[in-house]
Amino acid sequence: MTLLAPPPTVLRGTEWRAREAAHRARADALTAGHRERAARGLKHPVEDFLFTYYSYKPAVLRTWHPGAGVELEDAQERAHKRWYTAGSNPGSACVDATSFRQEKTPLIDAITRILRATVDRPARFGCLGLHEWAMVYRQREHRHPIPLRLGQGETDAVVEAHDLKCTHFDAFRFFTPDAAPRNAVPLSRDGQAGSEQPGCLHANMDLYKWSVKLGPLAPGDLLLDAFELARDIRSLDMQASPYELREWVGEPVPIETADGKAEYVRRQRGFADRANTLRHRLLDCIAV
């Protein structure tokens, strides 16, 4: 027996335009600092990462989609946009989820594999943010022109006093040649879905990337929730890093101490819970 798709949720013109305006206002507030600094030619070693590593401009965050399965009334202008089609009512429009999925099948399948594997896996909280320390281990020149909080010798000693347990390939690939062999497991791009786990800060930051790549399938509030999570995680990531960043993120989370370790894990657990909620929402919007 063939199951019929549920009827779309219908939003009146006044309602969806209000949602779109609220979305843009929220996006503008989230990117205000970055845009103001960019206009003045200023850099921020922590927050700029969200626009350079992920390479999505603030305009991407301003783009609102209702998500699949939602019909927008009085939306003639949307019916002619890419990834939209005319709705069932005159003058209405909705996301053309079928065409998007057909064109983006390999990408959606890859994202789905990573999300499903990660959300079902137990979270691990023993890495202590040492991936950033492994990226400067025994190096005279560093990726970021910022002094090390403990100096090179003591930074190296912290790495040597701990086990490296990184599970995220896109962090592991920046380990120094001396640090990479110290990781508990060698990581590869092909094995990414098999190693990701929901305690990892960088795997959880990547939910922003997956939200962008899912384009019109991801509702606007989900996109901004994922960006906010990535922003919050980035702050902890740098507070726990070996760099001297008090000017930009306040006091460090010194993972070389017992108190610092406890603080890191406490916040890491909170991010893992937020991230898995977003993973379920992303999987739901893929399935619609």
Segment 157-212, tens digit of pLDDT? 999 999 999 999 999 999 999 999 999 999 999 999 999 999 999 999 999 999 99
Segment 78-97, tens digit of pLDDT? 988 999 999 998 999 999 99
**pLDDT at residue 2, as a whole number:** 46
What 3 state SS string does 8-49 have?
Answer: CEEECHHHHHHHHHHHHHHHHHHHHHHHHHHHHCCCCCCCCH
Angle between helices 220-239 and 13-40 (to 10 degrees): 30
**pLDDT at residue 6, as a whole number:** 67
Q: DSSP class of residue 164?
A: B
154 is written with which tokens?
A: 């003591």
The residue ranges of every structural domain in the chain are 9-127+189-287
Other residues' Cβ atoms within 10 Å of the Cβ of residue 202:
21
φ/ψ of 148, rounded to 5, equals -80, 135
Q: Are 93 and 85 in contact (CB under 8 A)?
A: yes
Model pTM?
0.94
* Cβ burial 257-267 (10 Å sphere, 16+ → b, else e): eeebbebbbeb
| pLDDT tens, per residue, the chain with 288 residues | 444 556 789 999 999 999 999 999 999 999 999 999 999 999 999 999 999 999 999 999 999 999 999 999 999 999 889 999 999 989 999 999 999 999 999 999 999 999 999 999 999 999 999 999 999 999 987 777 899 999 999 999 999 999 999 999 999 999 999 999 999 999 999 999 999 999 999 999 999 999 999 999 999 999 999 999 999 999 999 999 999 999 999 999 999 999 999 999 999 999 999 999 999 999 999 998
Q: Return the ∠ at Cα 10 (arms to 7 and 14), rounded to 5°.
A: 175
Helix (H), strand (E) at residue 238: helix 220-239
Give the closest residue to 66 by CA, choosing from 232, 231, 243, 219. Answer: 219
Residues in the chain, total = 288
Other residues' Cβ atoms within 10 Å of the Cβ of residue 35:
13
Other residues' Cβ atoms within 10 Å of the Cβ of residue 135:
20
Q: Return the ∠ at Cα 108 (arms to 104 and 109), rounded to 5°.
A: 115
φ/ψ of 10, rounded to 5, equals -110, 125
In this structure, the dihedral spanned by the alpha carbons of residues 152, 158, 161 and 166, taken in order and rounded to 10 degrees, is: -110
* Burial grade of 17 (CB within 10 A; 0-12, 13-18, 19 or more): middle
30 is written with which tokens?
A: 């989230």
**pLDDT at residue 8, as a whole number:** 80
Q: Are 132 and 123 in contact (CB under 8 A)?
A: no
